[in-house]
């Protein structure tokens, strides 16, 4: 369970990092669409 939790946290961090970079690159429109999703 601990390993699964670590894997989940790593995945969430990676996804959030990617979303931050892409939203920063695309601008406010991308950010607002992520908030909608």
Question: Residue 21's domain spans which residues?
Answer: 2-36
- Within 10 Å of residue 3's Cβ, how many Cβ atoms? 7
Total structural domains within the chain: 1
**What is the predicted pLDDT for the residue at 1?**
60
Give the span between the Cα atoms of 36 and 34, in whole angstroms.
5
pTM (two decimals): 0.51
Tens digits of residue pLDDT in 1-37 = 667 899 999 999 999 888 887 766 666 665 566 565 5
């Amino acid at each position: 369970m601990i390993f699964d939790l670590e894997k989940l946290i790593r995945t969430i961090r990676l996804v959030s990092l990617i979303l931050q970079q892409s939203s920063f690159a695309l601008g406010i429109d991308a950010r607002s669409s992520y908030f909608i999703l």
